[in-house]
Structure formats: structure tokens, C-alpha cells
């Protein structure tokens, strides 16, 4: 036997129950979590290396690459074999870029914040005063007294 409140309960269950917090329906997340595997570890390494490559490697390798490309283009236009040209120009470009990279890595720039040296107060010399002790007079006794 339905009661008078039955339509109100049905309305609550259909429309308001999903909005109510603590209704027993809890979000449990995906069954298979994603995002912390091999690629995430590689991404963290990449986030460290990318600025380093961008600031150090690319500027030292860029002139060798442009020289390599222009040399290949001139070799092809003069009618040389592409494979031999790639091999010869590749070796020189690789050695030049490695030399530039090593020179750039070992060069000292001298940039950076400098520490302000604080002037130390001059040290005071400690004056050590020695107190002279009085010598005790020794009495010489012979036998029993």
C-alpha cells in the first residue's frame, strides 16, 4: 500500500539523490590507473635534459649542421655521389660539433652572482700576563726534631 509521501520519495531518488553528498555512491576512480609508468619516468628525465640541450647542445651543433647541409648541396650540384658525400661531410660535421660542444662545456664564462665580502674586524691580540709565583723556601732538617 503506497503512502502519501511515495511521489516525493520517488522524486528525491530520481533527481536529488545524485546531487546529495554522502548518498553512499562514492567515486572509486578508474580500475586501471595511468600516468606513473615508464613514460612518466622518461618525461621527468626529459624535463631535466631539454633545457640543457636547448641552451648548450643546439647552439654548438647548429653551425656544423648548416655547414653540412650546404656542403651536401654543393656536392650534389657538382655531380658527386650522394652516399660518399654524406659519409665524408657527416664525419667532419660530427667531429666539428663534438669539438665545439667540448669547447663550450669547458669554457668559463665568469657570470653569476658575486658574493659581497664582509670586512672582518681586526683581531685583537690577547695579552697574556704571567703571574710570577713565589718560591717556597725549603728547610733542610737533619734527623728528627
All 3 cell numbers of residue 80?
Answer: 658527386
Q: Chain-wide mean pLDDT for the chain?
A: 78
Q: What percent of the chain has pLDDT over 70?
A: 75
Average pLDDT rounded to a whole number, residues 2-10:
66
Average pLDDT rounded to a whole number, residues 33-57:
81
Measured from the Cβ of residue 44, the count of other Cβ atoms closer than 10 Å reads 10
Is a pLDDT exceeding 70 seen at residue 87?
A: yes
Is a pLDDT exceeding 80 seen at residue 136?
A: no
Question: pTM of this prediction?
Answer: 0.45
**Cα separation of 117 and 16, whole Å?**
70
More confidently predicted of 4 and 97: 97
Q: Are 90 and 68 in contact (CB under 8 A)?
A: yes
CA angle, residues 109, 114, 116, in degrees to nearest 5: 160
Given this model, what pLDDT does residue 104 score?
84
Q: What percent of the chain has pLDDT over 90?
A: 23
Average pLDDT rounded to a whole number, residues 17-39:
62
More confidently predicted of 91 and 28: 91
Least-confidence region, from 51-55, 66-70, 129-133: 129-133
Given this model, what pLDDT does residue 71 score?
93
Is a pLDDT exceeding 50 seen at residue 1?
A: no
Amino acid at each position: 500500500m503506497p503512502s502519501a509521501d511515495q511521489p516525493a520519495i520517488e522524486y528525491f531518488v530520481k533527481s536529488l539523490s545524485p546531487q546529495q553528498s554522502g548518498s553512499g555512491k562514492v567515486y572509486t576512480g578508474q580500475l586501471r590507473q595511468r600516468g606513473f609508468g615508464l613514460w612518466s619516468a622518461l618525461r621527468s628525465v626529459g624535463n631535466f635534459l631539454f633545457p640543457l640541450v636547448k641552451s648548450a647542445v643546439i647552439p654548438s651543433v647548429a653551425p656544423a649542421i648548416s655547414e653540412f647541409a650546404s656542403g651536401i648541396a654543393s656536392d650534389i650540384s657538382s655531380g658527386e655521389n650522394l652516399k660518399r658525400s654524406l659519409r665524408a661531410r657527416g664525419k667532419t660535421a660530427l667531429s666539428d660539433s663534438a669539438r665545439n660542444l667540448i669547447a663550450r662545456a669547458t669554457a668559463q664564462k665568469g657570470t653569476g652572482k658575486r658574493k659581497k665580502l664582509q670586512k672582518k674586524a681586526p683581531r685583537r691580540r690577547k695579552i697574556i700576563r704571567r703571574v710570577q709565583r713565589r718560591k717556597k723556601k725549603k728547610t733542610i732538617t737533619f734527623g728528627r726534631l
